[in-house]
Structure 1
Amino acid sequence: RALTGPSRNAALLPQSAMVPRAEPRPIQPPRALSSNSAKPSFRSYSSSFEADDERSSSASHNSNMGPEAASAFRDRPSQYAGEDTRLTSRKELQGWYAYGFAAEVFVICGMGSFIPITLEQLARENGHLVSDPTKPCPSSSSHTPGGLPGAPKDTGQCVIDVEGLQINSASFAMYTFSLSVLFQAILVVSISCAADHGNYRKRLLLFFAFAGAISTMLFLAIVPKVYLLGALLAMISNTCFGASFVLLNSFLPLLVRHHPKAQYSPQHTPDLPSIMIGDEPSEESLDDEGPRTRVDSTAALLPPDPDTTQPKPAAKNLPSVELQLSTQISSSGIGIGYSAGLFLQCVCIVIVFALKDIMLSLRIVLFIIGAWWFIFTFPAAMWLRPRPGPPLPSGDPNDPKATRTWLAYFTYSWSSLWRTVKLARRLRDITLFLAAWFLISDAIATVSGTAVLYAKTQLDMKPAALGLINVIATTAGVIGAFTWAAISRMLGLRPHQTILACICIFEIIPLYGLLGYLPFVKNWGVIGLQQPWEMYPLGFVYGFVLGGLSSYCRSLYGELIPPGSEAAFYALYAITDKGSSIFGPAIVGAIVDRTGEIRPAFWFLAVLVGLPAPLLWFVNVDRGKEEGAKLAEVIEGFNVHESAEGSSGEDQALLASDEEAAG
């Protein structure tokens, strides 16, 4: 990868400026420059994987070390006061994985299965038949599903009256989800600045984690008479989950940037994906080898040919080391989270089967989900480093309190978002990716919700059967998260091409549903989603695709983000993700209301799934990284300008001059 910033400076330093080795070494043959070849990488590599104390700052740690150790301790010079330049440690990675293990169960078991079922059941026990307001709604398993041959159009349709409005009991959960998405988007924007600046990134993550977990556990106290309180808890928990994951995602570029294999690696590393992230030589084994065999920790990453000063032509099309690391870490995180969700989903299904009272079993299950989220957040709290950002720019540099007030953070977050959106228009690849991600995330949420609704109403599948679909999808997600990287390497696919492959497979789901319109398929009575068992293989396809999309989209986007603006751009990522989820379900609902059936919505889903493909085809990661680096300089210029005097007109003039310079 091209040498930039501190890496380039390190590579150009004269030999006399380098830190001397602690012991004599034979002259090494020439080789490709690593990003920090001027530093004794063995000591820094080992020290970075020692036990962490995230409360200790880099400065305090360095003060207790000698000059040589202190130089090895930092991967690059500190760019601002309080910056943590320590290399990413194994425990820090484990802390990042731990929160995915804790919180992913909420979206898989909670929002993906039992919260919608619980909300629908709460609404049903308070509703009435649309055909006869005097008759209460029957249980979901005692009516003939609408849309089947010979069934009246409104048979079994259950509605509730909320402030004079009649809402379908199945739509109650969808509206609750839409409102939580709205609140989530507002919250994510408001906290983005506090995550990027100061020492709030980890604190906010833990606050929203515990708040969401407690809200989920409180479902244990919800009874049908207070069904609106259940909707409120669902909105709070989903909003907190989304906010916490935005903060978690903002750690990913920092973990990759400070990872030893990104700091001490050759320009091209074709075999990096086959190397475990946490693997590193132990001090004992290296000490036993003696002075002659003690070499840089990057030696294992170098090609066997001693003359590696010129990269091989084949490596020209390889992804960067950072992108490979980001993809691998992200895939592992998704797989770990899915594994936790799979295990807990099986436990929850057993509980639902064991208890005869459906409502009680659902409440107990949600309490267990919240307790899991709460308990397993503690390892993340202990192991994940805060990684503080630069101080908040202040209009009055003589007033230090002005940079610490929450009002200042709130105001700066929204103004920063608006500025980020304006500047992001100059990033061609981020614009293309966000447009594609808007459609992909909308398709993911809409296909999932439509499939569950179709299975429950058209195929009359019971909650336990719906839970089994989720188990299959989650299992496939684990497989997909761990195997898409191997598939990509085997076929020689770049990350955006892997996402395109996922989209092509994803398209199978709506097209399969449309097969039911073919007369000869309809006469068969099977294929085209005419039998309940057909939902299971489609659930596997959905999960397998989602495992690849989740990891590759997140890591690809992380490579395009301008350095120093991780939380702000991941806020934009989350707003694009969650904000899009409002439109797809609403359009499907309108189609269902107009036609009285769900199957026509598969036409819309087929278009929605396919639309992102042409946008992703034109994404160029290398070009996007270069544009992101330039944008980071522009953003820094704005911050300095605002700190000095910064009027609105001057900001516009500065932006205009930057645009002219970029042009």
Structure 2
Amino acid sequence: MTVASPLPDSPAEDLRHRSPRYSGEDTTPTSKREIWGWYAYGIAAEVFAVCGVGSFLPLTLEQLARERGSFKSSHLPCVGPGSPSEAAGNGTAPAMLRRDGTEDQCVVGLLGLEINTASFAMYTFSLAVLVQALTLISFSALADYENNRKTLLLAFGFVGSVTSMLFIFIAPPVFALGALLVVVGVTCLGSSFVVLNSFLPVLVANDPSIETATQDSELHPMSPDGEYSHSRDSFSENTESGHGTATSSGPTSPELQLSTRISSKGVGLGYCAAVLVQILSILLLLTLSKTSISKASGTLPLRFVLLLVGIWWFSFTMVTKRWLRNRPGPPLHTSTAGGQGKRWRVWLRLVGFAWKSLWKTVKVAVKLREVLVFLVAWFLLSDAMATVSGTAILFARTELKMSTTLVGLLSITATLSGMTGAFLWPVVSRRFGLKSNHTIMVCIALFELIPLYGMLAYIPLFKKWGVIGLQQPWEIFPLAIVHGIVSGGLSSYCRSFFGLLIPPGSEAAFYALYAATDKGSSVIGPAVVGMLIDVTGQVRSGFFFIAILIVLPIPLIWMVNAEKGRHEALTMAERMEKGHETEGAQMEEAEGLLSRR
């Protein structure tokens, strides 16, 4: 009887497995097919993040509200028969503020309030990220256990893609339902990325190159600057600082190198997919503009684009389902507690466990100084990134009066630049000997140029010229390039740098905290900008708030010590493991005493 040979797509099966950290852990060496399965979900969901959340969803929400709105002072409809733009023969022109200098705002009634149509989009995204934060807290910590990691990833992916496709049925009379779909879609997007990020440390830990590097290379121990000099096992707690001095030109840890490389490539491939779909979207918009569909409703072409985005997301999630391994975590005994209890009780027990798990993670994170400092910095930085993205799209649409096609081209510019940044920053970092936190600080400094340039329009000289300070549509394209390059670097470097600070075995829980910090902060920025728009009637006023928000994380990022953070994480993982063993022994002893009675 012959034994079947390993599948050709899984050559890593023949390699030696590392020792498991818990019963049932899948320590199969990471294969190329599995990594591509991980990439596939980024290719799937990044399209919705860029083309949907970053481009067409804000436009769709604003357009839906505008087609139901009226000018605040004149009470004339903003779009359609009787509107000023219709009277001027330009019924499809964007109109939040009128061109006649009166700056009459276009508002829509919702829940008894009159809301600026641009603010409606900002408030919707604030609500979406709030719900997203609560959702990922409730479910994402469960990904560390059993087969939940992959199950949650696929569930969020499929539900999110369907919500994008459902936009085809949202017409202006039910514009509020569009906001509901945005909340669901954004929630699924962010939650799925949390689970996807939790796969990264696991893939790196099982990668054959890590074991080879630790066995064959002669590196020196890490210095306080986060550099390596002698071989160490990726799960060893024996990292000792002070055994020699590493320079900034020395090699970084094998784990961080591989994590950064995979993360950067994943972001880059996601951006490539987003560019492709964005081009297809523009072609679709141009084609539909020549038909009667665009005349029936200004939002219908946009809704067809969202249908395309949803189909793409669904299709590549199927690839992830096929290629990505489960990588189960330790058994979750809580899930089976209660015997044959009702399903809703089990669900509530699981959610309660997730919140308890997050609280435990918070208590652990508070004890890890480097993690705590980084999370505060990430809170501010992620808020700034989310606020700039949403504000830029609405600014281009409402104040620069750019068409949907031009906004799509703007998004392509930013996305191509983001793809370039994802691949460029590792090269720049190696060329100039920059550590991860230094690279992040350079990105933030460049990011600050965006709001500062927009504020130049408040200088009387530039305002008189009518150019410089984002007064002309062409000026926003160079800033889109800066935004894309910076975002590409921050997305990959922040994710991989945080992974270095996580105690091994708690990846999903800490990435849930990472995303909760991200999304929790992203509620604030868009809401503040929305209020500024309501007060001033100008999207530009939000630049003042954004400019302050961007610079705040720089000193905090500078304070993070990579070596100290890694050493703290390994020590904490050992302490947590001993604590679990002690807790288990106490439970067994208690059960033994009870059984004797």
Q: When the two structures are superposed, what TM-score results if normalisation uses the length of structure 2?
A: 0.85
Correspondence for 2:593: none
In the TM superposition, 1:345-424 aligns within 5 A as 345-356=278-289, 357=294, 358-394=298-334, 405-424=346-365
The farther-off stretch of 589-598 and 421-430 is 589-598
For 1:129, which of 64, 71, 74 is the aligned residue? 71
TM-superposed deviation, 1:463: 1.5
1:527 corresponds to which residue?
Answer: 468
Which secondary structure state, in structure 2, belongs to the residue aligned with residue 599 of structure 1?
helix
How far 1:179 sits from its partner (Å)?
Answer: 1.7
Does structure 2 conserve the Cα–Cα contact (< 8 Å) formed by 1:141 and 1:460?
no
Return the alpha-carbon distance in structure 2 between the equivalents of residues 124 and 246 of structure 1.
34
Partner of 1:660: none
Q: Which amino acid aligns with 2:53?
A: M
Q: What is the deviation of 1:397?
A: 9.0
- 1:125-182 superposed Cα distances (whole Å, 9 cap, x missing partner): 222221133645446854766387x61132xx22221221212222222222122212
Deviation, 1:103, is 1.1
Q: CA deviation at 1:206?
A: 0.7
- 2:447 and 2:94 map into 1 onto residues whose CA distance is 32
Deviation (angstroms), 1:359: 2.1
- The superposition leaves residues 32-76 of structure 1 with CA deviations (integer Å, 9 ceiling, x where unpaired) of xxxxxxxxxxxxxxx9994249xxxx9xx8xxxxxxx7xx5312x
Deviating more after overlay: 350-359 vs 632-641: 632-641
Query: Among residues 97, 102, 116, which one is paired with 1:152 in the alignment?
Result: 102
Deviations 1:602-637 (A, max 9, x none): 222111111110000011111101111122233334
Q: Does structure 1 conserve the Cα–Cα contact (< 8 Å) formed by 2:123 and 2:530?
A: no
Once the 2 structures are TM-superposed, how far is the Cα of residue 392 of structure 1 from its aligned partner? 2.0
Aligned to 1:245: 193
Aligned-pair identity (%): 50
Quote the Cα distance in structure 1 between the aligned partners of 2:499 and 2:408: 33
Conservation of the 8 A alpha-carbon contact between 1:196 and 1:568: yes
The answer to whether the aligner puts 1:172 opposite 2:98 as a matched pair is no
Against the structure 1 CA distance between its residues 237 and 598, is the aligned structure 2 distance closer, same or farther, given a 3 Å change threshold? closer
Contact 1:268–1:321 (8 Å) recurs in 2: no
Deviation sequence 1:415-464 (CA, Å, 0-9, x none): 11112112211111111111111111111111112222222222211211
2:362 aligned partner, one-letter code: V
Alpha-carbon spacing, 1:216–1:599, altered in 2? closer, same or farther (3 Å): closer
Is 1:51 matched with 2:1? no
Residues 543-552 or 386-395, more deviating: 386-395
Alignment of structure 1 residues 128-527 onto 2, 5 Å: 128-133=70-75, 135=77, 137=79, 138=83, 141-142=92-93, 146=97, 151-154=101-104, 157-266=105-214, 314=247, 317-356=250-289, 357=294, 358-394=298-334, 405-527=346-468
Measured in 2, the distance between the counterparts of 1:530 and 1:315 equals 43
451-460 vs 361-370, which moves further: 451-460
**How far apart, in 2, do the equivalents of 1:195 and 1:397 lie?**
18
Of 587-596 and 184-193, the range deviating more from structure 2? 587-596
Runs of 4+ in 1 over 6 A off after TM superposition: 395-404
Partner residue, 1:551: 492
CA distance in 2, matches of 1:335, 1:171: 32
Q: Is the 8 A contact 1:449 1:585 kept in 2?
A: yes
Over residues 550-599 of structure 1, what are the superposed CA-to-partner deviations in whole Å (9 max), with x where a residue is unaligned? Answer: 00000000111111111111111111111111111122223333333333
**For residues 498 and 136 of structure 1, do their structure 2 counterparts lie closer, same or farther at Cα, with a shift above 3 Å needed?**
closer
The residue that corresponds to 2:42 in the other structure is 100
Distance, in Å, in 1 between the alignment partners of 2:364 and 2:176 is 41
| Gaps in structure 2 of 5+ consecutive residues | 86-90, 221-230, 232-242, 588-597
Structure 1 spans left out of the alignment, 5+ residues: 1-46, 62-68, 271-297, 299-309, 647-663
Deviation at 1:317, TM superposition (A): 4.4
Contact 1:395 1:644 in 2 (8 A): no
Cα-to-partner distance string for 1:339-378 (whole Å, 9 max, x where unaligned):
0000100110111122130322111111110000111112
Aligned letter for 1:567? A
Separation in structure 1 between the aligned mates of residue 211 and residue 307 of structure 2, nearest angstrom:
43
The structural deviation recorded for 1:102 is: 1.0
Tell me the secondary structure at the aligned position of residue 190 of structure 2: helix
1:564 corresponds to which residue? Answer: 505
Residues 272-313 of structure 1: per-residue CA shift (max 9 Å, x gap): xxxxxxxxxxxxxxxxxxxxxxxxxx9xxxxxxxxxxx9995
Instruction: Within 5 Å, give how 1:652-663 maps onto structure 2.
Output: none
Instruction: Confirm or deny: 8 A CA contact 1:393 1:640 kept in the other structure.
Output: no
Q: Is the 8 A contact 1:145 1:460 kept in 2?
A: no
User: What's the offset of the Cα at 1:241?
Assistant: 1.1
Letter paired with 2:554: A
Cα distance in 2 for residues equivalent to 1:626 and 1:400: 44
TM-score (norm 1): 0.77
The number of residues matched between the two structures is 543
Which residue is equivalent to 1:661? none
Question: Would you say the 8 A contact 1:50–1:89 is kept in 2?
Answer: no
Q: Is contact 1:393-1:642 (8 Å) kept?
A: no
Hey, what does 1:575 align to over in structure 2? Answer: 516
CA RMSD of aligned residues (A): 2.8
Question: What is the alpha-carbon distance in structure 2 between the residues aligned to residue 602 and residue 424 of structure 1?
Answer: 33
Measure how far apart 1:476 and its partner are.
Answer: 0.2
